[in-house]
Amino acid sequence: MTKTLYNGVKMPRLGLGTFRVADGDVAYQTVRHALSVGYRHIDTAQMYGNEDGVGRAIRDSGIDREAIFITTKQRHHMPPEDAMRAFNDSLERLKTDYVDLFLIHWPNHDKEINQETWRFFESLYDHKKARAIGVCNFQKHHIIDLYETAKIRPMVNQVELHPGLPQIPLKRFLDEQRIATISYGPFMKGEVFKDHYEETLSRLATKYEATIAQVVIAWGLERDIFMIPKSVTPDRIDQNFAARDLVLDPDDIKVINALSRGKRVYTDPDNNPWGVFKPYQP
Ligand SMILES: NC(=O)c1ccc[n+]([C@@H]2O[C@H](COP(=O)([O-])OP(=O)(O)OC[C@H]3O[C@@H](n4cnc5c(N)ncnc54)[C@H](OP(=O)(O)O)[C@@H]3O)[C@@H](O)[C@H]2O)c1
């Protein structure tokens, strides 16, 4: 169950998120379990501090490296020589000599810094160290600014996207640009299981003999969005993966879209403190 990015690379539509998955045994066991169930797309980041556990799990799984799609993200903006060291350290921790997808984690407020970082990403792509490159948390204006100097357009934008924030205008823009959309935070830090969201989603879950989590994942997949739910709990990892077989009626997609409250549970990209420019400190 993959979808082809505009550069021809196939990316599995459903993956495992690993934010707040502790490095060491937890990351190792979580990723080993996910791979045994059939996940072939693992989303990590320099910032998560768990690339080593993820890399060990992939290495020990016995599955061919080429069959697994690994995404990681550059922690913050830095001079190119520092960025290269940080990238090589990621490869070492992940125990691989390339990644499938490398992402800018947060935009800087200065467009020239984003453009400079993107030049580094383009060089990694040119040298086949990353099979695809992209961004996270970029608004439309960040992407337009990147185009001023980009030789290669991003293949992916990973953004906060869930029933409280369906990102319909941004997704439409990304579709026009042939940039794939990945959802993060699909369960809204637990809010989809409560109140306003729960009322509607539990009715749909009953209708489809599924769980709320599965309805949310199926909603994203049906909107042509890549989904990377995170769990460290084996039966939830299984349950989330099974959502790929769930098909919702088009009217129910609209019902979920209408739950939007324009609500972010993560940081607003236009006012974020994360996309700083500073030297690399291993
Ligand atoms: N690019 C970015 O800036 C950015 C930002 C945030 C996240 N991300 C990526 O997106 C991934 C997903 O987002 P997220 O980690 O924020 O949150 P999420 O996937 O929306 O939710 C994870 C939470 O939901 C619980 N959960 C998982 N499956 C469940 C189920 N079937 N039923 C009930 N609860 C369930 C998990 O608990 P347990 O683990 O205890 O089971 C965990 O507490 C991240 O892990 C990361 O890879 C990217």
Pairing assessment for the beta strands 10-12 and 2-4 based on DSSP bridges: antiparallel
pLDDT band at 189 (very low <50, low <70, confident <90, very high): very high
Atom 33 of ligand 1 has which residue's CA nearest to it? 213
**Probe target for ligand 1 pocket from 14, 16, 19, 71, with the most ligand atoms within 8 Å of CB:** 19
Q: What is the pLDDT of residue 139?
A: 98
User: Of 259, 262, 242, 266, which is closest to residue 37 (Cα–Cα)?
Assistant: 242
pTM of the shown model: 0.98
pLDDT band at 171 (very low <50, low <70, confident <90, very high): very high
- Record the tokens describing residue 195, joined without a space: 């109140």
Distance of alpha carbon 86 from alpha carbon 88, whole angstroms: 6
pLDDT band at 134 (very low <50, low <70, confident <90, very high): very high
Distance of alpha carbon 217 from alpha carbon 213, whole angstroms: 6
Q: What is the pLDDT of residue 198?
A: 97
Q: What is the pLDDT of residue 49?
A: 98
**Residues 231-268: tens digit of each pLDDT:** 999 999 999 999 999 999 999 999 999 999 999 999 99
Ligand 1 pocket, Cβ-based, cut-off 6 angstroms: 17-19, 43, 105, 136-137, 158, 184-187, 211, 213, 228-233, 236, 239-240, 266
Distance of alpha carbon 125 from alpha carbon 122, whole angstroms: 5
Which candidate in 28, 48, 125, 197 is catalytic? 48
Q: What is the pLDDT of residue 206?
A: 98
**Probe target for ligand 1 pocket from 39, 76, 231, 232, with the most ligand atoms within 8 Å of CB:** 231
Q: What is the pLDDT of residue 62?
A: 97
Contact 39, 241 (CB under 8 A): yes
Q: Read out DSSP for 24-60?
A: THHHHHHHHHHHHHT--EEE--GGGT-HHHHHHHHHH
Q: What is the pLDDT of residue 115?
A: 98
Taking every pair of Cα atoms in the chain, the longest distance, rounded to a whole number of angstroms, is 54
Residues whose CB is less than 8 angstroms from the CB of residue 118 and which lie 6 or more positions away in sequence, other chains included: 104, 146, 149, 150
Contact 221, 229 (CB under 8 A): no
Domains of the chain: 11-187 (3.20.20.100)
pLDDT band at 215 (very low <50, low <70, confident <90, very high): very high
| For residues 135-160, average pLDDT | 98
Nearest atom (ligand 1) to Cα of 188 = 20
Q: What is the pLDDT of residue 114?
A: 98
Nearest atom (ligand 1) to Cα of 19 = 45
pLDDT band at 186 (very low <50, low <70, confident <90, very high): very high
